Amino acid sequence: MEKDIRKNIYNFAKSWVLEAGKIIRKKMNDPLTIETKSHANDLVTAIDRDTESFFVNKIKSVYPNHQIIGEEGYGDEVTHLDGTVWIIDPIDGTMNFVHQKRNFAISVGIYQDGIGEIGFIYNVMEDVLYSAKRNEGAYKNHQKLPSKKAYVPLNQAILGLNHLWLCENRLVDVSAMQKLIKTVRGSRTYGSAALELAYVAEGTLDGYLTMRLAPWDIAAGKIIVEETGGVMTNVDGDEINMLGNNSIFVCNPSIQRVILDDYIKAGRK
Ligand code: 2AM
Ligand code: CA
């Protein structure tokens, strides 16, 4: 993507992300209608839908030829990543939004012919914006995030993961997950994949392991993490498919091989 074009898209996207966040904060204490989607704990509210619709209207008014993948279905039926594609989660961490009124984010990733060019993750209630442009580094508000050069020993690493891994033999055997958790220094669950990816980018998490995420959960985070020298693959160590679901492991490069080989692969179902 040409630099000038990218700069324009970045500026529009940034202003829309901040504006959407402001609208969400304003509506935060209005009565919420909560519906469920694929299962009883998969929640959606009118604010998720209105926020996505806000983005789609803005994008289509300025960039009618761009494609949009959005969680709530206001975007396009996207079957390929040719051209410019916006991948949007209007509220990532809807359960947190509903129950905690915090710990949720707007996630916007912008791809050109399948390559991540621009990413935004906006922690709405804390007013913290993580952003990145490909090859230009990642930022937390106006502060550039350092690149992950330092080696992190496994026994000093903090990992983000979903506790469901410890309850059921899903993609990785429970005993392999228990061994991993006993080896690392600590584990955390925040309930918003986008924020957990931002935490890996800023280094407050050394890695994040999670199941079956959709493109909108990870599109922005992949760009932001990679701009800090972090690495993201699926749990088999292969490239992410941005048009499907992926179980992902994202981390500081120094712990990638050992966790993929000795824990995930060893316990892979
Ligand atoms: P959401 O809030 O946008 O649904 C919670 O651990 C994380 O997983 C959140 O980022 C949440 O995104 C995501 N998530 C929850 N249910 C999901 C599903 N059925 N498919 C993909 N991602 C999901
Ligand atoms: Ca969502």
Q: How far is CA 144 from CA 81, 105, 228, 238, in A?
A: 29, 20, 9, 29
- The CB density around residue 157, as the number of other CB atoms within 10 Å, is 22
Is the C-beta atom of 221 inside 6 A of ligand 1? no
Is the C-beta atom of 90 inside 6 A of ligand 1? no
pLDDT, tens digit only, all 269 positions of the chain = 999 999 999 999 999 999 999 999 999 999 989 999 999 999 889 999 999 999 999 999 999 999 999 999 999 999 999 999 999 999 999 999 999 999 999 999 999 999 999 999 999 999 999 999 999 999 999 999 999 888 999 999 999 998 888 888 888 999 999 999 999 999 999 999 999 999 999 999 999 999 999 999 999 999 999 999 999 999 999 999 999 999 999 999 999 999 999 999 999 98
- What is the Å distance from ligand 2's center to 124 Cα? 13
**Which ligand gives the minimal distance to the CA of 38?**
1
- What is the Å distance from ligand 1's center to 211 Cα? 9
- Please report where in the chains the tokens 């986008």 appear, as a residue: 194
Is the C-beta atom of 126 inside 6 A of ligand 1? no
- What is the Å distance from ligand 1's center to 146 Cα? 28
Q: What's the Rg (C-alpha) of the chain?
A: 18
> Which pair of structure tokens corresponds to residue 237?
């160590």
List the residue whose alpha carbon is closest to atom 2 of ligand 1: 93
d(CA 149, CA 75): 38
Is the C-beta atom of 109 inside 6 A of ligand 1? no
In the chain, list all ranges with CATH 3.40.190.80: 154-267
Ligand 1, atom nearest to 91 Cα: 3
- The CB density around residue 250, as the number of other CB atoms within 10 Å, is 26
Taking every pair of Cα atoms in the chain, the longest distance, rounded to a whole number of angstroms, is 52
39: amino acid identity, one letter = H
φ, ψ dihedrals at 103, nearest 5°: 60, 40
Q: Of 231, 211, 208, whose CA–CA distance to 147 is shortest?
A: 231
- Collapsing DSSP to helix, strand or coil, 126 comes out as coil
166: amino acid identity, one letter = L
pLDDT tens per residue across span 133-165:
999 999 999 999 999 888 999 999 999 998 888
- What is the Å distance from ligand 1's center to 173 Cα? 21
- What is the Å distance from ligand 2's center to 91 Cα? 4
CATH topology of domain 3-144: Fructose-1,6-Bisphosphatase; Chain A, domain 1 (3.30.540)
| CATH architecture for the domain at 154-267 | 3-Layer(aba) Sandwich (3.40)
Is the C-beta atom of 22 inside 6 A of ligand 1? no
Q: Quick check: pTM over 0.95?
A: yes
Is the C-beta atom of 41 inside 6 A of ligand 1? no
Geometric angle at alpha carbon 130, from 125 and 133, rounded to 5°: 150
**H or E segment at 67?**
strand 67-70
**Which ligand gives the minimal distance to the CA of 215?**
1
- What is the Å distance from ligand 1's center to 3 Cα? 33
165: amino acid identity, one letter = W
- What is the Å distance from ligand 1's center to 244 Cα? 14
Ligand 1, atom nearest to 38 Cα: 19
- Count, residues in the chain: 269
Handedness of CA 233, 253, 69, 192 (dihedral sign): positive
Geometric angle at alpha carbon 114, from 118 and 83, rounded to 5°: 85
